[in-house]
Structure 1
């Protein structure tokens, strides 16, 4: 029988098809190749394996055996790890749909022939598809040149020796069975490698405890190899490294949960990790993950694991997170923008104190120098804002936008004074209009009689109280009771809740002040201080004594004396304001006493005393370490910023100096004596500049008609910053008559001279030295020589620059205290000092301030020393300042603003 001429060709095609359906190619396949999961069902979709043992395989991948999701993928066969996916956002939906290799590249089709994914067009035809021993899938041309490769387009995995260039990223999958791009990313930037969730940062390679920085420079790429993970410069210089035990193969995978896991293998064909591999996981704490406990779940570390709870006023939800327990609904971006009146009203639910958001550790504030109300208003005006966190210590506002993650302990973010609020949408219960009207009518019928009865009771009670008070004002009764009623803290609950202060006031009326702190009698004060036995200090307002409360806690009692006082009503009103101020960097007022002309204030006790003792005269002879000085600077700045911006009533301290910065164990830094100027009579508040006796810290505007603002405190704080840098008072006097070394004190001669005008004294005015050091760019030499160079050079430069910016002669050119705190923390851009606004320092430092008695000196240069600082009168080199009360205060400019 004669064979048909096409039979041999048909047989060859059938044999080829059978081979393609059943045999796995090694390393290379050529164009006109077709694969599908159905054609290679016997090999579970594998159609190509790498050389050298076939550790890597190219496969039509079907994760979890789903019927409608197939991918072109590369898999590490021994560990069954998918290391690359081509069409992750456009899976093939049928197991028979073809994957084609042609001279134009690779394409994946759906069942109706529509291309769902393909490689780009090339200038030359494709000659082969190769899978090499490192797992790189590449298209080659006829000259064996690479036209395209999978290593240039990573998905959620890197394998050694693969590199990820700057601007490149890994993106997590939605789940282990759905390779669609998820919300987590590993980004390589010019400065670092960062993990983010929907744009929110939660890990940096440079801050990981296992990483080390070799040198600074711009990052060009991230590489993983047999010795570790590296960030490299353009010349392959190592900038940051994560050293790991030696291994032949490493797989770096960004998991669906946001964890970055590095697994090491002794060989490419090893089925299990290397015995020397301890495993690397980032972040190292589960609570650092954005969704460690679901949305609004509170994560608490528990050994090597973590536990999840819901914050107060919240309950567990079906999706693993937490939801408001009152039935309201946490806002989402999808729920904002409702139409007109159909949108439910929004409100805020507190998350409680000490709760922070996982992202607060790395995020920059959305607003600085604000109060909590401003932060809430910022969130309310932003539809994508779902809540906010307010840091009471730094006055920083952080918005939660687009999506809500988990909550953590505020101390883990180094922001212990954080409070958080979540925006919620009230649920409107359904009901018909008629039903609502009926319910309203019933409610009115019930409430109206109750309200009428309550009003009658109030009116009758008021009549009785008025009658009783008239009887009490009769001379006989008043005289018999005037000395009997005491200011005691142990009262009946009714009197304590009213916060009444009784006594003979100017008008004889009883004083009712809400919000007062604990009231003590003078007898109780004497008991707690052991009759004022231990004196621990003295200031412009009087002496300070150590005491102890009945509960054993130590206190400091300030006896205000030598000044005229306001009436009791005014005094108690101001005490109520000061006593309600709460901030971690402000000394807390524990109580007070007001009896007759006696005025005493009871403060919390700071056991390390004031900064001037620790900085200028350390008891153990050891100078304050640089790290502690930075903590003092930042803490004091936060406290002043709160006085200026965080209180309901802005408070200007007016006496910022080291003596009013107190320290305690545990790194506590607190501002003292704030608000005391409010306790003076109007006449004496006009003499405020002379009472405090702190020349060297008062700003130039004290000598002018310029208004005293919060920037006056900024000037004083700038002087304190410079003293922190140098470790001595800004003016150190060296006497040439053999009296000894620099004393660092601020004593004057008996006639009130500044100490720099006679007897061979030489003045080293440090603010001038700091200015000259800034102009020369030499900051390290300005640091306290007692530290022997154990300082952070960049921080010294930062503190000097911030200090000089605070000293700008024009108050409007000085930063606010909130900005000062931000610059010291490094969270805000550092200002550059304006040298032209610091010229007066040269005049102060070169002796332009003459003696106060007018004898000699160069007092005539005062007007030149302070632009626009003309007093109302000038006599013999002495500036006369007309104070607010109209009383002249004869003080030289150097006594107020110049060298100390």
Structure 2
């Protein structure tokens, strides 16, 4: 502190002297920068954000990027337990520390204070350790060192450039990415040197060492990307580029955030992207889980998922290591098989590094027909790789062969005998709804038993049966008391549950029903045998009092088309909501997963689902004390009861995260195709955002297909674009109907549904109807006019002047209607300017 005051006095005096001497042009700015750097103490400012020959930074000194200062360069240590230091680049303004580039990822430093980043006389930028040994370098062979400077650009690109010509880049970190691919960067193949730029994952979430998973453009020269395990085994491809999208990523069609460009010439092939809205913060990286991941930053929420592939984490090659089993429905994707423990518990259980796999707890006995060995049955498994076939004719012979082999660890029999010797790899536990699995018999060590104890065991069993019966009664009674409890409720007659109660009801959250942006849902059973659905919430920062108040408000909202909230849990940082269980699942399972439901939804049922959903949303928007905007309307959030009556689910979750609805922009994984344009444009969010999502969902309900499905050449990949043209032309409406219905639909209802769907997805929110108006249209109270084609669907500007949305019967719009009018009504006088059809 004293040193700072002395320096302040000296620098102030020098500044005054320099000013009086007429030396302002040179001394004043230099000393100003010098003073600021010294007073801040933790940041170096050499030539603003640049380094010149002979200059260096070390310790806590950093360089901030030019322009807006979005990125920072310096030494850091990853995680809370690491003792290693690395030179890297990270976001400078985010509350969550996020490195995007690491120079010395495979050669960590032990002391940042004695290490330095320095621009040498030969023009190379290097990292030096405490003994001045070069551990990382730009490895340039020839440069004009006296005319070279180091700069960190505001896109996160570290560059060596010509001082006199800043666009002349001698070296840049964008050409040498680690695990991140930032906007404006490129990822491609140099055809001259045949060198690819690759994204390579960290070893784990706290170790930037080169990991097992990578992404690169096809080395053979085709326009598709591959993800690799260990640089050699491909396990996912983007499909080839068709000048618009990658064939295996149809979701790119409905993108509003990113501008994609693919370049191919004699020198190189590469792919790059930028943001339509430069104020957004986005990153694309190869995750330690082996999935390529796109995330956007939402303040007060953090990084939220926008895109990831493969969509099934278990599709990643060898994701769980040896003797690990992958289960995409579990809270943790990888677990060790029965009788095995992680080779490295910390990495396996907390850092998402499963590459070390698992090891057996007890050594198997290696003798013929070893009495100490047995088999554990694992049902509905996707069998591991590298099976060996045995020529035996029965399941018993297959079992005996594996039991007699010291190297056999498992067997399976489906008419043929397969055994596995050595490590079990790529083992996947399929969920209840998935087919194609088989039983796998895992060899385990079993405790030795004594035949002489048979009589004693038989006597003990008799007594144990009686005791067990009494114990069951006592446990059931206690469990009932625990679950029901005597704690007082909150307004709305909601039942408060402790975490322990719900843990028991859900059998330790073992049966996962689904997962969304706000959390996972698990099936449970109360003591009175009532089946419930428990949603474990994530990312909620409210205190106990605020959370209870919000839940109380939501609990009092009752409507036949809204899911019923039974209770809640607020136990420390744990937040859960308890709903009625819906036996027919979600709408998407009926529309897009035929194997789950043998009977296709008929038109009458679909129309009632559309109408019921609209009524539920209209109630939220218009009949509650405060308008509740859902923010995530999609088939997955429309649940069906035993009579296929629709129930809008998750309707209170946007309210729970607060009135700043921009926070949930990217929390809904996989729902980009339902997001209204205003989410991306950064304008105010209203209930019309739900209307847009409803329109997209209604098109899927009509067609029975995902909007982004690309298996029909005449449609061209994005169904809403093709449908909007047909609806606008008012021809071939029947062609939009799900082909499985074979044309069996009420044409008047189909016509209304198609037109209202297209009105709902208009680009401007003022051009969309309210949900109350949607209900009136579907009920046949109001006639609907053919809608225009949204400009975003046809990629050209639309003239929205004098749009007439709908009128009752054949009533003509008034000549005095304003140019922004959405609708007119025969009940309205010619002098009114109201846009309400019921005015």
The alignment's TM-score, normalised by the length of structure 1, stands at: 0.34
Rg larger in structure: 1
